[in-house]
């Protein structure tokens, strides 16, 4: 299992499961097992059965390349989940990597370290990167209390992906 930018609460739980070869990775977090650039993964093709990526792609300049790399290292019978904020009122993803001022990014993208706002084309972008996508609105599967506890927001798109 590859867990990119691992959330501490999940990491603690996964580390306790001895039957999982659990690898954490990030570009800047020194506490992960492997430090890497998500657009140039240091793993062989078809290495992982499971990949977890939550709230990462909206920070990556070349998200297309990151998605292609993740599809490359996922085994054919494996699966990956991606959780990303999506503006469902937008037909297309809006991105502008030339906006570097944190305050301007906050105004444009809603967060100081985001460089895009995904639109309804998010799933298509993932499919064009080599994934088969089952789009599940997990927010609707839980009560409001459960969603809050799990950190699920109505604008978060969670995609369950396999390779094609």
Asked whether 27 and 35 are in contact (CB, 8 A), the reply is: yes
Residue showing tokens 């990151």:
66
Strand partners, 79: 50
Tell how strand 48-54 and strand 74-85 pair up.
parallel
Spatial CA neighbour of 140 closest among 127, 128, 129, 156: 156
**pLDDT tens profile 111-141:** 999 999 999 999 999 999 999 998 766 667 7
Q: Model-level pTM?
A: 0.89
Question: What would the 3-class secondary structure string for 30-95 be?
Answer: CCCCEECCCCCCCCCCCCEEEEEEECCHHHCCCHHHHHHHHHHHEEEEEEEEEEEEECCCCCCCEE
CATH number at residue 79: 3.40.50.150
Higher-confidence residue of 145 and 133: namely: 133
**pLDDT tens profile 19-46:** 999 999 999 999 999 999 999 999 999 9
Mean pLDDT of the chain: 90
Q: What confidence tier does 9 reach under pLDDT thresholds 50, 70, 90?
A: confident
Asked whether 61 and 99 are in contact (CB, 8 A), the reply is: no
Cα–Cα distance, 31 to 24 (Å, whole number): 9
Q: What's the pLDDT at 78?
A: 95
Query: Angle 31-60-69 (CA atoms, 0-180°, nearest 5)?
Result: 85
pLDDT at residue 88 above 70? yes
pLDDT at residue 154 above 70? no
DSSP for residue 141: G
Cα–Cα distance, 87 to 13 (Å, whole number): 31
State which residues form the domain around 49: 2-163
The number of domains in the chain is: 1
Distances (CA, A) of 28 to 8, 38, 60, 126: 15, 11, 13, 24
Strand partners, 84: 157
Q: What confidence tier does 91 reach under pLDDT thresholds 50, 70, 90?
A: very high
């Amino acid at each position: 299992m590859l867990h990119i930018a691992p959330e501490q609460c999940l990491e603690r739980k996964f580390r306790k499961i001895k039957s999982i070869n659990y690898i954490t990775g990030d570009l800047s977090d020194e506490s992960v097992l492997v430090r890497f650039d998500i657009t140039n993964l240091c793993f062989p093709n078809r290495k992982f059965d499971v990949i977890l990526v939550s709230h990462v792609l909206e920070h990556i300049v070349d998200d297309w390349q990151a998605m292609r790399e993740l599809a490359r290292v996922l085994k054919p019978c494996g699966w990956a989940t991606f959780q990303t904020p999506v503006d469902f009122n937008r037909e297309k993803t809006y991105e502008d990597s030339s906006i570097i001022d944190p305050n301007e990014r906050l105004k444009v993208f809603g967060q100081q370290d985001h460089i895009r706002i995904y639109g309804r084309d998010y799933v298509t972008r993932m499919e064009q990167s080599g994934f088969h996508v089952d789009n599940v609105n997990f927010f609707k599967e839980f009560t409001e209390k459960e969603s809050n506890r799990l950190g699920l927001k109505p604008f978060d798109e969670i995609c369950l992906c396999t390779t094609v």
